[in-house]
Amino acid sequence: MLHRVALYRPLRGGVPIGDTRYMRRLLIATTNPGKVREFRRLLDGCGFELVTPADLGLRVEVEENGDSYAQNASLKARAFSRAARCLALADDSGLEVDALDGEPGIYSARYGGPGLNDRGRVRLLLRSMAGIAEKDRTARYRAVVAVAEPDGTTRCFEGVQEGRIAGGERGENGFGYDPVFVCDDGRTVAELNDDEKDAISHRGMAVRAAAACLCGAGAG
């Protein structure tokens, strides 16, 4: 069960995250440069030393074979936390397109197979939606952030951003499907600056919920 971000509570309410031995270092458990930049912005001022696998010389291969965002995020967070012996934060996120029955969903990062990069996946998505009317191009970004301790204790937080899929790519910022994900104001996520994106994004919502819990746990 996931708490929605508006609750700003850990998955198991009232239980502090983390043994104090591990409280001051938080591993951002991703090698995706775009996600690293977002996590650093969103977690700035939380009171933890933010480190990446590259900072620690850490290589961890995780098979994302879960059947939900929460399972995949938890698999990554626990694996990195065990390897680094500190708190680790990981996410799994995806794009859910209503006209495609929720696809690509948890397979968003692998949509179209391993031979495609971000731009290739975006173009495949646009081809898959050719001929679909604007009113039927509704979609959402969904993210689940997992925070794990070395003993395996894990909390999850979810964020959802509603929008629609544009007819073509617009904007130079962001990554992934941002050039075709249209926000309420008509701009794509790739046309937003960092502050604007962080304020409304699915990942921003989930990370802020996790950060609220982490900051409370780290206050002592």
Would you say residue 21 has pLDDT above 80?
no
pLDDT > 50? residue 7: no
Q: Tell me: pLDDT of 136 over 90.
A: yes
Q: In sequence order, which ranges of 13-115 are alpha helices (DSSP H)? A: 33-43, 53-56, 69-84
Sign of CA pseudo-dihedral 129, 135, 141, 142? negative
**Digit-coded pLDDT (tens) for 140-172:** 999 999 999 999 999 999 999 999 999 999 999
Q: Using CA atoms, how far apart are residues 121 and 107, in angstroms rounded to an integer?
A: 11
Q: Is the pLDDT of residue 211 over 70?
A: yes
Active site residues: 92
Is the whole model's pTM more than 0.75, yes or no?
yes
33-43 vs 202-218: helix axis angle to the nearest 10? 50
Question: Which whole-number Å values give the CA distances from 191 to 12, 93, 144, 188, in the listed order?
Answer: 37, 20, 24, 5
Q: How confident is the model over 83-108, as a mean pLDDT? A: 96
Of the ranges 44-53, 103-112, 144-153, 189-198, which one carries the lowest mean pLDDT score? 44-53
For residue 126, CA distances in Å to 112, 164, 179, 180 come to: 12, 12, 11, 8
Residue range 162-188: mean pLDDT, rounded:
96
Q: Quote the Cα angle for 41-47-50, to 5°.
A: 55
Q: What is the pLDDT of residue 217?
A: 53
Identify the structural domains of the chain with CATH numbers, from first to last.
3-218 (3.90.950.10)
Q: Are 110 and 103 in contact (CB under 8 A)?
A: no
Whether the predicted pLDDT of 12 surpasses 80:
no
Q: How far apart are CA 127 and CA 107, in angstroms?
A: 17
Q: Residue 72 has what pLDDT?
A: 96
Lowest mean pLDDT of 3-7, 73-77, 168-172, 210-214, name the range: 3-7
**ω into residue 104 within 30 of 0, thus cis?**
yes
Kindly give the pairing relationship between strand 104-105 and strand 138-148: unpaired
pLDDT at 213 (0 to 100): 85
